[in-house]
């Protein structure tokens, strides 16, 4: 009951300050939300209490924390405090800096399918002659094909130069796929040695490289147009799922990699909101002030703005504490009067 009365008193206390501003203007302590901005206020645990994030389109504009003694919401302005609060905010949203630990499972599954296509491609090479002769240009691939006189040679003679070109592409695509799996292995080794944002992104890119190389090998005309080879198991669906999972895990952890830059952005938005509040206050007090005066005032350096903000805060608190102190003293004297009255009645009843 006491807390409800306290919050009601604070609400009534703040109403006169908001009533003089135009409709649609959102004030939160010393912060003003940009006019017309669609936003939400999300509460989260911060330290031993609660904090409130003003969020629009997924971006945090300011973080408000109730401050002693009146517990009025005030925006955090120090970069270190903002960064710490952002960490708590993203934790409350289900994000985790440890999300990328799941990459070990992704890597294990990729290793499990890395050789699944070898057997199918080897059978195709027997038909193309590249199992016994190297194929690195048109002449070498033609020689390999002509060595299989019972199969590849008549097909090549009946299909023209394109058929030999498809053999070359088959070998190049297979080599590219083998290389992509080797790149994934190296990228994972780098990631386990140092889980930096750069290495995480490089590992995700390596998985994407496997996916692209698999599609290239999968598209060989020998599986679809000529249908002379059985389609190897390229596990494309599994690779796509693993790539998707890796990106999701990174997205879950990504804010913690860039917390300093996020804190800088929130600090700038917060300072802009405080400045809007001060400009609105000046316009309310001096409606006839010229634009040049406002522009000149807006160019004041950061130290001067901070100094004036502190002066306003002190004046605000001093005005607020006077009635609060009077109420507190009244309650105190009333309590003492009740105690003396109860003592008097007890003495009167005693023999």
- Is residue 86 a contact partner of residue 288, using CB atoms and an 8 Å limit? no
**How does strand 27-28 pair with strand 40-46?**
unpaired
Distance CA 11, CA 318 (A): 18
Which range, of 15-19, 73-77, 180-184, 190-194, averages the lowest pLDDT? 15-19
**How does strand 31-32 pair with strand 59-67?**
unpaired
- What are 27's strand-pairing partners? 32
Q: What is the mean pLDDT of residues 235-245?
A: 97
Q: Where are the domains of the chain?
A: 117-234, 306-333
pLDDT for residue 148 is more than 50: yes
pLDDT for residue 329 is more than 70: no
Which range, of 261-270, 274-283, 291-300, averages the lowest pLDDT? 291-300
Distance CA 106, CA 247 (A): 11
Distance CA 319, CA 325 (A): 10
Q: What is the mean pLDDT of residues 269-277?
A: 90
Which range, of 63-67, 76-80, 110-114, 206-210, averages the lowest pLDDT? 63-67
Q: Where are the alpha helices (DSSP H) in the chain?
A: 2-18, 79-92, 103-113, 118-128, 138-146, 152-159, 161-193, 197-218, 221-224, 236-257, 259-285, 291-298, 302-349
pLDDT tier at 70 (50, 70, 90 boundaries)?
A: low
Reference 145, options 120, 124, 175; nearest CA is 124
Q: What is the mean pLDDT of residues 144-168?
A: 95
Half-sphere exposure of 11 (CA within 13 A, CB side): 6
- The pLDDT assigned to 4 comes to 35
């Amino acid at each position: 009951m006491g807390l409800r009365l306290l919050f009601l008193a604070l609400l009534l206390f703040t109403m006169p300050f908001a009533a003089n501003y135009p409709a649609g203007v959102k004030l939160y302590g010393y912060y003003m939300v940009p006019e017309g901005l669609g936003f939400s206020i999300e509460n989260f645990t911060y330290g031993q209490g609660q904090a409130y994030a003003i969020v629009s389109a997924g971006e945090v504009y300011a973080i408000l924390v109730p401050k002693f003694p009146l517990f009025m919401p005030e925006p955090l302005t120090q970069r270190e405090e903002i960064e710490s609060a952002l960490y708590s905010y993203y934790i409350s949203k289900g994000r985790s800096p440890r999300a990328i630990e799941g990459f070990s499972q992704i890597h294990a599954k990729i290793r499990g399918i890395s050789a699944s296509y070898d057997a199918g491609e080897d059978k195709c090479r027997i038909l193309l002659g590249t199992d016994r002769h190297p194929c690195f240009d048109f002449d070498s691939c033609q020689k390999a094909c002509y060595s299989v006189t019972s199969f590849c040679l008549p097909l090549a003679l009946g299909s023209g130069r394109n058929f030999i070109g498809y053999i070359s592409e088959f070998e190049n695509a297979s080599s590219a796929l083998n290389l992509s799996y080797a790149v994934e292995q190296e990228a994972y080794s780098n990631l386990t040695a140092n889980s930096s944002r750069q290495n995480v992104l490089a590992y995700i890119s390596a998985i994407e490289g496997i996916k692209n190389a698999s599609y290239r090998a999968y598209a060989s005309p020998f599986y679809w147009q000529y249908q002379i080879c059985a389609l190897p198991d390229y596990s494309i669906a599994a690779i796509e799922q693993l790539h998707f999972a890796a990106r999701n895990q990174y997205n879950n952890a990504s804010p913690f990699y860039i917390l300093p830059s996020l804190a800088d952005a929130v600090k700038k938005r917060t300072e802009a909101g405080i400045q809007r509040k001060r400009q609105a206050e000046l316009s309310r007090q001096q409606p006839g002030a010229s634009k040049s005066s406002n522009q000149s005032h807006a160019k004041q350096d950061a130290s001067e703005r901070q100094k004036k903000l502190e002066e306003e805060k002190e004046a605000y608190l001093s005005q607020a504490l006077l009635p609060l102190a009077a109420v507190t003293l009244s309650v105190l004297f009333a309590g003492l009067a009740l105690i003396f009255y109860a003592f008097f009645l007890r003495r009167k009843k005693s023999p």
